[in-house]
Amino acid sequence: MPRRVSRPDDVGETPQDPAATSGRVRHEEKITVYVTSEELIELERARLALRADHGLAVDRGRIVRAAVSLAMADLAAHGDDSALVRRLLAS
């Protein structure tokens, strides 16, 4: 049986010390994405660059969620002229 760990971000719970929270957001949905070795290395390089150059200690999932959000906003704003449509048409 899977072990359930109680976390402060669970519904109805509040942390004893607000400064002790990790800032992590609980996500209800999950997908699996397969990437090439090169894409994974680029993602890791981006994560390290964000930390080294911008002081942002983020995980790969947060980077991917931000990138998806940017792509969806661009698609909504520009439709056929969006970077997403152009990239998918080129592949």
One-letter amino acid for residue 18 of the chain: P
61 falls within a domain = yes
pTM of the model: 0.71
Domain count, the chain: 1
Sign of CA dihedral 60, 22, 72, 54: negative
16 falls within a domain = no
Locus of tokens 């976390």: 7
Residues of the domain holding 70: 32-90
15 falls within a domain = no
What pLDDT is stored for residue 22 in this prediction? 60
pLDDT tens digits, one per residue of 49-87: 999 999 999 999 999 999 999 999 999 999 999 999 999
53 falls within a domain = yes
Q: Residue 23's pLDDT band (boundaries 50, 70, 90)? A: low
Q: Residue 11's pLDDT band (boundaries 50, 70, 90)? A: very low
Q: What is the Cα–Cα distance from 72 to 74, expressed in whole angstroms?
A: 5
Q: What is the Cα–Cα distance from 56 to 65, expressed in whole angstroms?
A: 15
What proportion of the chain, given as a percentage, has pLDDT over 70?
Answer: 75
18 falls within a domain = no
